[in-house]
Homo-oligomer: A and B are copies of this chain.
């Protein structure tokens, strides 16, 4: 039985409870899923600054629980702190946008990512670029509401979701839609699938499946190159919780080139 930790990257307990209520029903009976949120940082994540702060707090939340779980999920549509999180634990860490996008790749040629604000488009595009999948991206489709407005409930936003999805399908030639919000699941993805006639994936559900898979396979994040943990004698002032990460690190795991 795999133990999965879902970290809501924002600091809102209300949000975490919503995630648990909606995501809970998707997990296999054979796995044990726990939900926490970042202990600090913004209550809603709308900007590059929010992403940076939430990213560190997400890594901290994972670091605190690094020995107690077999896989971790970063539950925010911007996948904040994913790289940092992969350095605080050897266990797999999956982002919900990342997982939604990867699953979308097997269902159609092009996907659109559905998010809230138009100002997030460059942030989402750069994230997809980072995953190397820009050529598969039909568009980033937006609803025109902020995270604060969305917390009121995605149910009341259904018409906006549907209209944005329809435009992505008709105008941007999206074949698959990916919902990257952490609370964008629980039925809305199925209703949209029926109404739009194309598959609509919930990123957090895909992440849950992928985390379970990786935990079952027993694989770990690579320590070669990007996620290497350099041996450090430096202090990490004000972040004692994270400093422990470096203890036991044995320096570069990759050979020098000459």
- Give residues in A with beta carbon < 8 Å to B: 11-12, 30, 39-44, 46-49, 51-53, 55-57, 59, 81, 83-84, 86-88, 92-95, 98-99, 102-103, 105-110, 117-119, 121-123, 126, 129-136, 142, 144, 146-148, 169-170, 173-176, 190, 193, 197-199, 201, 205-206, 209-210, 213-214, 216-239, 242, 245, 251-257
Once bound together, how far apart are the Cα atoms of A225 and B117, in whole Å?
Answer: 9
Min CB–CB distance A70 → chain B (angstroms)? 14
Q: Give every chain B residue within 8 A of A108 (Cβ-Cβ).
A: 221-222, 224-227
B53 touches A53 (CB 8 A): no
Once bound together, how far apart are the Cα atoms of A102 and B94, in whole Å?
Answer: 12
User: Contacts A11-B237, A197-B253, A254-B170 hold; do A103 and B228 have CB atoms under 8 A apart?
Assistant: no
Copies of this chain present in the complex amount to 6
Min CB–CB distance A158 → chain B (angstroms)? 18
Contact for A198 among B88, B92, B98, B223, CB less than 8 A: B223
User: Contacts A103-B214, A106-B102, A126-B109 hold; do A222 and B176 have CB atoms under 8 A apart?
Assistant: yes
User: Contacts A59-B49, A219-B201 hold; do A225 and B122 have CB atoms under 8 A apart?
Assistant: yes
Q: Give every chain B residue within 8 A of A41 (Cβ-Cβ).
A: 236-239
Once bound together, how far apart are the Cα atoms of A226 and B43, in whole Å?
Answer: 20
Once bound together, how far apart are the Cα atoms of A84 and B51, in whole Å?
Answer: 8
A226 touches B123 (CB 8 A): yes
Q: Give every chain B residue within 8 A of A39 (Cβ-Cβ).
A: 237-238
Q: Give every chain B residue within 8 A of A136 (Cβ-Cβ).
A: 131-132
Q: Give every chain B residue within 8 A of A255 (Cβ-Cβ).
A: 170
Q: Give every chain B residue within 8 A of A230 (Cβ-Cβ).
A: 46-47, 117, 119, 146
A132 touches B130 (CB 8 A): no
A87 touches B47 (CB 8 A): yes
Which of A51, A118, A134, A205 has the most CB atoms of chain B within a 10 A radius of its CB?
Answer: A118
Q: Closest residue of chain B to A163, judged by CB?
A: B258
Once bound together, how far apart are the Cα atoms of A21 and B130, in whole Å?
Answer: 37
Once bound together, how far apart are the Cα atoms of A55 and B227, in whole Å?
Answer: 17
User: Contacts A41-B238, A230-B47 hold; do A221 and B107 have CB atoms under 8 A apart?
Assistant: yes
Q: Give every chain B residue within 8 A of A135 (Cβ-Cβ).
A: 129, 132
